Chain A
């Protein structure tokens, strides 16, 4: 038995360390460690509830809007109000911009550079992949930074700036779009569509969205000259469609009124979401131990010397079970046929997780175009949202990386408790008191590791698009 410690695990958002036990060149056990603690839940306690809108985006610089959206939703729940239609559309547009930009950033800047490693020289796909995706120096880096920066101009119009906007409010959005901005935003969406169609996919978004099985996907990709088909070629060569399976139990809170919420697993009927089944376990975190608690009663109390602990991350569980969250989970729960086919054939995998991000890029952009058309000039974007002196609120949203929940309680006008479960907290959770490993800990078992092996472990870790700064909030 050999122990391997991997870190710093860069090109993820935040800090990650992975500890592997290796036997015969394969991983027999994995421990995932978040070696940073930030303590935002304590920062929030005692503050005015509306101050959460300023503080929580600063949990994360890559899904800052998702944090805003969760807080705004929790405060709207506390206030018992719903934003007006324009406000909801604006919120969706702002959230979707960030989520799609995250998918793009992940694919080009975080995930693909590992395929440009010299260990792959000699593969028939290596030369074009290395030329496009070499970290910082690859040709695609300039293309994607330009497309990403231009796409984020939507946020300039809709939310002032990114990251860390205050535009998302419980009552809607602080920024009413002007008629001229509506035209500009549609033009920016067309520009982004052109990038996705010409550079990323090599086909129309609608044609890609129509793919309904692994077989259809592979037939579509054959001989197609664009960045994502290039990945599929490399992934097929490396059998990544059969690599990186976790619990195969998928959770989604539902997004944009477009993707359903729920729980899905193979060979079982889809289940409705029941948020009361969510608990967090702290057995292997450097946090005070207690029974697994629902987040509405959860605590985050540091115990840095705790025996048996190996991370700052808690273990969220749904009905006591390990679940995976993210774009793949969202699409599987929502019933996307391609995502379901991939999972039913092979289980969750590196390939399936990346494909699911493409499904969202192709599917959500046309929806954004429609949301802009649906805005009604002159109608309100934001309603006043007076908050009660005491009460509770829950905000469940989908960030790019998966299910994000905020649970808040207010007493005498101040925040009494604020608990957050981020997507990566689910996916990169440590073992719980039943000794069930978290999704990534499961996904790494059986992979080749040690001297001279391919970077399969890296592909699997990055396939989840981890956001550790959120995890350790």
Chain B
């Protein structure tokens, strides 16, 4: 399976993240799964005219490839000219290259939330960059390729959203495609692969005991649940970050900072401080998606009244000060 990769208005972080793929080195893993990069701007040898020749052959339909991966937002500005991002050595807008190549690709993958939905570039007030995603303007279908776009493989754009994407999300989606193909039923309502997006960041969170008792962190580095005060959206964000660790054993929550729901369209402009939970009458307004508010309020009140001292005391410090009770051995 041949993969052609382009980068536009992103930070390159999805590629950098992908290079952290584990347990096997990325290139070995992909090669043995029958996946190769036809060209990748950060990794391939060919530059300049050699690279442009590969891209032109693909865009003209003379060189076959399977997957077009695009990383970074599409910049249509200024005034629809695409001049905010021209292909180096070529002078044509990246948006034009992406449109031509998408027509030839069997499948089109948006790598990361910038490419999927427009990202931070699209959240500048007034969007002077005229930035968008491949098939979305934030959460509205459309984008560069249009809401009706389907690649020749019969799928809309596959949105491997995340800021950045987890290496496993990209590698697994490519390998699933190589192994048995991808169907519409493998994607959720925003085009995200269900293999990682049918879970919530909350699932497997190491702070779950604190969540259960609403024993909340008050400040950065506290051990408690980050939902009530520090802006955590783990109960609303679709991704398996706490089941599939980052960089060996990490996740945002394990790192002590809130999930900002970076796999969701529009995460860049939440309408409140990223690291603060907006509340009405002391109750967070962004409650778990599947839970009626009244139940949450009732359960929270009940669980707070039943919080063990250990959980309560440990929630507001940066290392445990009360150990779990040890029952003395009975001889």
Chain A interface (Cβ < 8 Å from any Cβ of B)? 5-11, 13-17, 33, 35-40, 42-43, 45-46, 48, 50-51, 53-55, 58-62, 64, 105, 109-110, 113-114, 116-117, 134-137, 141-143, 145-146, 148-150, 152-167, 169, 171-176, 178, 302, 304, 377-378, 380-382, 384, 458, 469
Contacts and interface: CB of A to CB of B under 8 A. Distances in A.
A17 B88 contact: yes
B311 interface: no
B26 to A, nearest CB: 6
Contact of B27 (A9, A136, A164): A136
Given A39-B128, A176-B319, 10 more contacts: A7-B48, A10-B42, A51-B274, A61-B164, A145-B27, A152-B20, A153-B250, A166-B257, A304-B81, A382-B221
Contacts of A156: 245-250, 254
Interface stretch (B5-13, B100-108, B169-177, B295-303): B5-13
Interface in B48-88: 48, 51-52, 75, 78, 81, 83-88
Contact residue range for chain B?
35 or more
Interface string B235-252: 000000100011111111
B257 A148 contact: no
Contacts of A14: 7, 12
Contact of B221 (A39, A51, A143, A380): A380
Contacts of A380: 221, 318
Given A109-B43, A113-B45, A166-B258, A16 B21 contact: no
Contacts of B151: none
A77 B128 CA distance: 31
Contacts of A167: 255-257
Interface in B1-59: 7-17, 19-22, 24-28, 37, 40-48, 51-52
B189 interface: no
Contacts of B81: 304
Given A8-B87, A13-B12, A377-B319, A146 B25 contact: yes
B282 interface: no
A142 B22 CA distance: 12
Given A35-B88, A136-B27, A382-B219, A152 B247 contact: yes
A114 B75 CA distance: 31
B20 A135 contact: no
A174 B217 CA distance: 11
B260 interface: yes
Nearest to B267: A54
Contacts of A163: 11, 13, 16-17, 164
A381 B88 contact: no
Contacts of A136: 27, 37, 43-45
22 contacts: A5-B89, A10-B46, A11-B43, A17-B88, A35-B86, A35-B88, A37-B84, A43-B121, A51-B273, A61-B15, A61-B164, A62-B12, A116-B45, A117-B45, A145-B19, A154-B247, A157-B249, A158-B255, A159-B250, A164-B262, A166-B257, A382-B220
Contacts of A166: 252, 255, 257-258, 260, 274-275
B279 to A, nearest CB: 16
Contacts of B86: 35-36
A398 B253 CA distance: 27
Which 3 pairs show the lowest CB-CB distances between chains A and B?
A160-B255, A61-B13, A7-B89
B252 A161 contact: yes
B120 A8 contact: no
A37 B43 contact: no
Contacts of A469: 10-12
B125 interface: yes
B227 interface: no
A9 B22 CA distance: 29
B144 interface: no
